[in-house]
Amino acid sequence: MTKKILISAAILFLANWTFAQRFEGGLLAGFNATQVEGDYFKGYNKPGILAGFFVQTDVAPAIFAGMEIKYSQKGSRKRIKQNDPDPQKYIMRLGYMDVPLFVGFRTNDRGAVVAGVSAGYLIHAMEFNEYGEFPSEDQNAFNNLDLQPFLGFQFDMLDQVKLDLRFALSVLPIRGHPGDDATNYYWLNNQFNNVISLAAYYNLGR
55-75: per-residue pLDDT in tens? 999 998 899 999 999 999 999
Q: In the predicted model, is pLDDT for residue 185 greater than 90? A: no
pLDDT band at 137 (very low <50, low <70, confident <90, very high): confident
Question: Which value, to the nearest 10 degrees, does the dihedral of the CA atoms of residues 58, 64, 65, 71 take?
Answer: 110
Distance CA 97, CA 118 (A): 10
Alpha carbon 68 to its chain's center: 11
What are residue 96's DSSP bridge partners?
Answer: 72, 122
Q: What pTM, to 2 d.p., does this model score?
A: 0.83
Could you give all domains of the chain from N- to C-terminal order, each with its CATH number?
2-205 (2.40.160.20)
Cα distances from 181 to residues 85, 114, 185, in angstroms, run 22, 41, 8
pLDDT at 10: 62
